[in-house]
Amino acid sequence: MYIYNNFDEAFVRNRVAEFRDQVQRRIDGSLTEDEFKPLRLKNGLYLQLHAYMLRVAIPYGTLNSAQMRQLALIAERFDKGYGHFTTRQNIQFNWPRLKDVPEILDLLADVGMHAIQTSGNCIRNVTADHFAGAAADEIEDPRPTAELLRQWSTDHPEFQYLPRKFKIAITGSPNDRAVTKAHDIGLRMLRNEAGEPGYEVIVGGGLGRTPMVGKIVRAFLPKADLLPYLEAILQVYNVSGRRDNKYKARIKILVHETGLDEIKEQIEAAFERQKRDFAGPSADLVAEIEAAFAPPVFDNARSLAFEQAQADDAGFRAFVETNVAEHKNPAYGIVSVSLKPVGGTPGDATADQMRVLADLAERYGHDELRISHEQNVILPHVRKADIPALHQQLREAGLATANIGLVSDIIACPGMDYCALATARSIPVAQEISRRFDELKLERDIGPLKIKISGCINACGHHHVGHIGILGLDKAGRENYQITLGGDGTESAAIGERTGPGFDAEDLVPAIETIIETYLELREDASETFLAAYRRLGAEPFKQAIHGDRGGRARAA
C-alpha cells in the first residue's frame, strides 16, 4: 500500500504541532470558540451531543494491520473501547477529551494517518470501491487514482475555500460498489472501443436535502486527462457555484440550474485551457504511486479445503454464500466481515475486535484490510484454502455474522445517539429491525435487501439509495420516520420514493415488516429481488399495505 513519503510525513507532523498549539491556546483562553472552531474542524474534531468526536480519514478505505492496531489502541486509551466506521470510509471516535486530541493525532501520524480534510468546504477523503485491487470484475485498481487525487487535492490552494464540501468517489469496476452517482464527482472505470481503460465522469450527484443522481458529463475520459479534467470541473464550480445560499451551494444545484449541456460546454472549455498549462502529474509520480499499490504475490497452490468445509459445515456454507465474493485470482476469495451482529450498532468495532481483524489480516490476508461505505470490514485477499480457518477465528471473536447484503446488514448513521445535527435516532431502529428479522428467521428467504437509515436530512446513512430507506425526523417533539422505497446506490442508481406520511418509532418496524411481507407475497419467485419486484410493481402495493387499511392510517402520523 501507499507509504507516506517525507513530504507527507513532515506535512502531517507540522499540522499536528500546529493543532497542539491551537488546542493549548483554546484551553488557556487565548482563542475564542469562534476562532477555534474552524481550526478544530479542519483537524476532524467535532463537538457532538455528549462529547467531542474525532473523525479520522481512511483514504480509499485501505488499512494495514499496524494501522488497525493503532486504531484499537486509540479506542482503548481515549475512547470507551470501540470505534465507529462510517459510510464515508472514516472512523469516528466518540469520546475524546479536548486536551488528548493532539496526542491521538500524533499516534495516527505514527502509522501514516490523519484527520485532515474530513471537514470543511474542501475536497474530502476520496472514497473507493472496497473491493479495489481484488474484485473479479475490476478493470484496474482505482486506488492509485484515488491516491493521486488525495495528493493533488490536499491543501491545494485553489480548492481550500470551495462554495461547499466536495466529495469524490471512484470505482475501478463497471459494477459500482462506491455509490459514485451520489457524489459531487463520481468516476467509474470502463474501457473504450479500443480496449483502453478510462473513466466515465459523473457530476452533481448527492443526497441530503436535495437528492440527485449524478449526470454523466464525459462518457469516456482517457486516464491521462483525469487531473486537468477534474481541475476544469472544480474551476467551473469555484466560479459559478452558489455561495449565497448554503443549501444551494453544492455542485449538484449548479448542474441542475445550469443544465447538463451548458455545464458540459463550460467544463470542456475550461479543460481546453487547463490542458495547455497542466498536462497532469509526472510519469514518475504516477509510476511511483502505481508501484505502491502493486498486488501482493498470490499463492496459487490448489486445495479442496474450501469446498470440503462447505460440504461439511452448513454454517460455513451460509457464510460463504453471503460474505465471500469472487476474487480476480480463482485461488482467492474476498471476505467481508460484518459489523452488524444481531442487535448491534452498525459499524462499531471494539478494540479487541480490531486487533483480531489486524491479526487475521496479517496471518491470512497479505496484511490488507478495507473499510466499506456499508460499514463493514473486508479482508480483500484470502486464499480460499484459508477461509475455513479464518471463519473459525472470526466465529470465536463474534465476527462471523453471515448477513452481507441481507436485511440485517443495515447502514445507519450515528443519529441522535451522538450527532448534534440529528433530528431523531437511527441506531435503535437498526437494532430493532435486525432483532425482529432474526426472530422471524426470514432473512435468507428475503434475499438481497439494503436498508439504510439516516437521523436527519443530511443523509449520511444514504437512506435515499436504500432499497428501503428510513429518515428520522422531529415531528412536533416526537421521533417520526419517513420510509422511502426503491432507492439504488449502484450503476443503476435511483432515489427512493416516499411512501406517504411517516411513522412513530413504535409503528416503524411493523411497517417495515409489512413492506417485506408484501414483497414476499408478490414476488414472482425467490430469484426476483426486492428491488426488481419493486421496479416491476411500483410503489402502490407497498403503500396500500402500510397505509391502506384504516388502522394503518390512524397509526401513521
Residues that bind ligand SF4 (CB under 6 A): 413-415, 419, 421-422, 454-456, 458-461
Cβ within 8 Å of residue 339, ≥6 positions away: 85, 346, 347, 348, 349, 375, 376, 377
Is 413 one of the binding residues for other proteins (CB under 8 A)? no
Q: Which does 157 bind (CB under 5 to 8 A by kind): ligand SF4, other proteins, none?
A: none
Taking CB under 8 A as the binding criterion, the range among 12-20, 96-104, 481-489, 496-504 that sits at the site for other proteins is 96-104
* One character per residue 346-375, x = contact with other proteins (rule: CB under 8 A): --x---------------------------
Would you count residue 49 as binding other proteins (CB under 8 A)? yes
- Binding flag, residue 345, other proteins (CB under 8 A): yes
Give helix 65-78 / helix 351-364 axis angle, nearest 10°.
Answer: 170
Joined grid coordinates for residue 344: 448491534
Which of 3, 6, 7, 33: binder of other proteins (CB under 8 A)? Answer: 33
Q: Does 80 bind other proteins (CB under 8 A)?
A: yes
Is 473 one of the binding residues for other proteins (CB under 8 A)?
no
- How many Å separate Cα 435 from the centre of its chain? 24
C-alpha dihedral (502, 504, 507, 511), degrees to nearest 10: 20
Instruction: Give least dist CB 52 to other proteins, A.
Output: 4
* Residue partners of 352: CB distance under 8 A and separation at least 6: 72, 397
The least CB distance from residue 474 to other proteins, in Å, is 8
Binder of other proteins out of 3, 6, 7, 32 (CB under 8 A) = 32
The smaller minimum CB distance to other proteins, of residues 33 and 540, is found at 33
121 sits in which H/E element: none
Of the pair 2, 36, the CB lying nearest other proteins is at 36
Residue 28, classified by CB atoms within 10 Å of its CB into exposed (0-12), middle (13-18) or buried (19+), is exposed
Residue count (the chain): 557
Name the grid cell of 356: 483480531
**Three-state SS at 350:** strand
Closest to ligand SF4 by CB, 46 vs 319, is: 46
Distance (Å, whole) CA 108 – CA 86? 18
Among other proteins, ligand SF4, none, residue 479 binds (CB under 5-8 Å by kind): other proteins
Q: Which stretch binds other proteins (CB under 8 A): 92-100, 103-111, 167-175, 318-326?
A: 92-100
Alpha carbon 404 to its chain centroid, in Å, reads 15
33's contact among other proteins, ligand SF4, none, with CB below 5 to 8 A by partner kind, is: other proteins
Distance CA 263, CA 259 (A): 6
478 binds other proteins per the rule CB under 8 A: yes
Residues linked to residue 212 through DSSP beta bridges, in sequence order: 206
413 binds, among other proteins, ligand SF4, none (CB under 5 to 8 A by kind): ligand SF4
- The set of cell numbers assigned to 333 is 476469495
Q: Which stretch binds other proteins (CB under 8 A): 300-308, 423-431, 442-450, 486-494?
A: 423-431
Phi then psi dihedrals of residue 195, to 5 deg? 85, 5
For residue 128, the minimal CB distance to other proteins (Å) is 29
CB environment 42-58: b (16+ within 10 A), e (fewer): bbbbbebeebbbbbbbb
Q: Which residues bind other proteins (CB under 8 A)?
A: 26-27, 29, 32-33, 47-52, 80, 94-99, 345, 348, 416-418, 422, 425, 427-428, 431, 474, 477-479
